[in-house]
């Protein structure tokens, strides 16, 4: 079933915000068995929105609009939809009640501008916004569907997850969509494709395998339609996992930091980090997971080399002999951080993220990562690339995955 997404707002076109809604929708809808044909971003302009809707309905059955539904003048989506569907706004009491309740809970007085949000197009079905004031509007047209929802990520995600996706599945999917995902690490996409070529060629009709490479890992997604394929799916999944061998790092759609969190929680272990070149980004990635405080204790970010000696007790002689970007230094960092923060596990990184600081023997992108757990230590050198932001991203993933794999082997 083809879906097109239209995100509305000048702020997207002028690059003031990165359109994370589009990526989230793409990921969730694909995961639920819908195919995204295109994503279009347009400004706060009625003609542009109508043009985009017309183009999208040329081939999509489902059209999802986000944004332009706030209480201010430049939020014009509902007026545009009235024009498109040749209808007018009417006052909806239930929407007002929903808004009033929300304001009551937040202890804010309701103003006239916000009251306006209870005016909605006559011919649509309303889905109440569970966490915000702008209602979700559902339109049916010649067997196709258009849904307008807020652009605020938290509101959009709540509406999609709790209301819109279940309704779309009920309406458009007679069949069950099956899928299994596997996270692979320590192998390039081309090497993985070679390794899996035979498996892929021999897949039964209706099954497909997608490669989703990211910084430092590749996600593989095996999918098929129909509940009757479940036994086959199970068998193929098992086979795929086997073929991945030592490169298998986890099952499902979770991020590396979520997989690590689950593993630590299951094994009742705690972890701390000692970061140099990633400057706190590994700590951030671990703590962005709700509930991370159950297993994450903290970090020492030793951006300056002096801090490595003073707070992490790295031996100055080791730094002199081997340099700060070395196996010896990250191993001391990993061991010492677990001692200082009294954790079982430790992650330590030191590297050169660029654009400057590279040398002939240690060019930009050189990184040493050490992971430690209960007396065992693993340290590896990586070369992550040339762009600073991507290097930080890749190093964080590699470090998190290195500890995850170490704990999985235990």
Asked whether position 340 contacts a second copy by CB under 8 A, the answer is: yes
Q: Which is nearer to a second copy, 175 or 208 (CB)?
A: 208
Q: Rule CB under 8 A: choose which of 83, 115, 267, 386 binds a second copy.
A: 386
Asked whether position 17 contacts a second copy by CB under 8 A, the answer is: yes
Alpha-carbon gap, residue 398 to 379, rounded angstroms:
12
**Min dist. Cβ of residue 161 to a second copy (A):** 13
Q: Rule CB under 8 A: choose which of 1, 32, 46, 55 binds a second copy.
A: 55
Q: Which is nearer to a second copy, 135 or 354 (CB)?
A: 354
Asked whether position 38 contacts a second copy by CB under 8 A, the answer is: yes
Q: Rule CB under 8 A: choose which of 66, 98, 148, 287 binds a second copy.
A: 287
Asked whether position 337 contacts a second copy by CB under 8 A, the answer is: no
Q: Which is nearer to a second copy, 92 or 402 (CB)?
A: 402
Alpha-carbon gap, residue 130 to 217, rounded angstroms:
36
Give me the count of residues in the chain: 410
* Stretch binding a second copy (CB under 8 A), from 116-124, 172-180, 273-281, 370-378: 273-281
Asked whether position 100 contacts a second copy by CB under 8 A, the answer is: no
* Stretch binding a second copy (CB under 8 A), from 170-178, 235-243, 244-252, 283-291: 283-291
| Helix H or strand E segment including 149 | strand 144-149
Task: State the Rg of the chain over Cα.
Answer: 25
* Stretch binding a second copy (CB under 8 A), from 15-23, 60-68, 75-83, 228-236: 15-23
Alpha-carbon gap, residue 30 to 320, rounded angstroms:
52
Cα distances (angstroms) measured from residue 281 to each of 118, 173, 251? 43, 41, 24
Q: Rule CB under 8 A: choose which of 37, 196, 243, 378 binds a second copy.
A: 37
Q: Are strands 271-275 and 35-42 parallel, antiparallel or unpaired?
A: unpaired
Q: Which is nearer to a second copy, 37 or 126 (CB)?
A: 37
Torsion on CA atoms 249, 251, 254, 257, rounded to nearest 10: -30
* Stretch binding a second copy (CB under 8 A), from 86-94, 225-233, 260-268, 336-344: 336-344
**Min dist. Cβ of residue 88 to a second copy (A):** 28
Q: Which is nearer to a second copy, 109 or 231 (CB)?
A: 109
CA nearest neighbour of 187 among 248, 240, 260, 259:
248
**Min dist. Cβ of residue 380 to a second copy (A):** 21
In the three-class reduction of DSSP (H, G, I as helix; E, B as strand; rest coil), residue 158 is classed as helix
Asked whether position 14 contacts a second copy by CB under 8 A, the answer is: yes
DSSP string, 360-404: SSS-TTEEEEEEEETTEEEEEEEE--S-HHHHHHHHHHHHHHHHH
Ramachandran assignment for 374, one of left (phi > 0), alpha (psi -120 to 50 degrees), beta (any other): left
Asked whether position 286 contacts a second copy by CB under 8 A, the answer is: yes
* Stretch binding a second copy (CB under 8 A), from 85-93, 179-187, 288-296, 321-329: 288-296
Contacts (CB under 8 A) with a second copy, residues 391-410: 392
Alpha-carbon gap, residue 245 to 313, rounded angstroms:
38
Q: Are strands 366-373 and 376-383 parallel, antiparallel or unpaired?
A: antiparallel
- Count residues contacting a second copy (CB under 8 A)? 78
| Helix H or strand E segment including 140 | strand 136-141
Asked whether position 24 contacts a second copy by CB under 8 A, the answer is: yes
Tokens linked to 373: 């757990």
Alpha-carbon gap, residue 395 to 278, rounded angstroms:
7
Q: Rule CB under 8 A: choose which of 48, 100, 176, 232 binds a second copy.
A: 48
In the shown chain, the binding pattern of residues 149 to 188 toward a second copy, with x for contact by CB under 8 A and - for none, equals: ----xx----------------------------------
Asked whether position 134 contacts a second copy by CB under 8 A, the answer is: no
CA nearest neighbour of 134 among 153, 147, 120:
120
């Amino acid at each position: 079933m083809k879906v097109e997404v239209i995100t509305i707002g000048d702020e997207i076109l002028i690059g003031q915000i990165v359109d994370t809604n589009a990526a989230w929708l793409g990921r969730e809808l694909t995961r639920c068995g819908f195919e995204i044909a295109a994503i279009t971003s347009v400004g706060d302009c009625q003609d542009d929105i109508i043009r985009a809707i017309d183009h999208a309905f040329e081939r999509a059955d489902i059209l999802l609009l986000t944004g332009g539904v706030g209480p201010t003048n430049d939020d014009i989506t509902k007026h545009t939809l009235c024009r498109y569907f040749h209808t007018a706004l009417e006052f909806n009491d239930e929407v007002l009640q929903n808004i009033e309740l929300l304001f009551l809970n937040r202890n804010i007085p309701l103003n006239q501008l916000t009251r306006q949000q209870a005016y909605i197009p006559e011919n649509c079905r309303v889905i109440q916004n569970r966490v915000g004031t702008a209602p979700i509007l559902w339109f049916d047209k010649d067997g196709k569907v258009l849904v307008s929802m807020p652009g605020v990520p938290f509101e959009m995600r709540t509406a999609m997850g709790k209301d819109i996706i279940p309704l779309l599945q009920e309406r458009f999917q007679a069949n069950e969509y099956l899928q299994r995902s596997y996270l692979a690490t320590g192998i390039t996409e081309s090497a993985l494709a070679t390794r899996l070529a035979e498996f892929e060629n021999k897949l039964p009709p209706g099954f497909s395998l997608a490669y989703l490479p990211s910084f430092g890992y590749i996600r593989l997604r095996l999918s098929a339609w129909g509940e009757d394929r479940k036994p086959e799916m199970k068998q193929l999944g098992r086979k795929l996992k086997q073929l991945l061998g030592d490169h298998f790092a986890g099952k499902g759609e979770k991020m590396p930091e979520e997989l690590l969190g689950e593993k630590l929680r299951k094994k009742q272990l705690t972890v701390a980090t000692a970061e140099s070149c990633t400057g706190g980004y590994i700590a951030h990635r671990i703590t962005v997971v709700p509930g991370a405080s159950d297993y994450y204790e903290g970090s020492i970010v030793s951006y300056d080399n002096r801090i490595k000696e003073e707070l992490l007790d790295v031996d100055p002689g080791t730094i002199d002999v081997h340099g700060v970007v070395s196996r010896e230094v990250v191993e001391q960092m990993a061991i010492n951080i677990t001692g200082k923060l009294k954790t079982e596990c430790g992650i330590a990184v030191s590297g050169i993220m660029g654009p400057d600081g590279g040398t002939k023997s240690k060019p930009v992108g050189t990184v040493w990562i050490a992971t430690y757990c209960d007396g065992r230590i693993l340290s590896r050198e990586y070369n992550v690339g040339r762009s600073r932001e991507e290097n930080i991203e890749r190093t964080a993933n590699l470090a998190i995955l290195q500890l995850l794999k170490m704990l999985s082997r235990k």
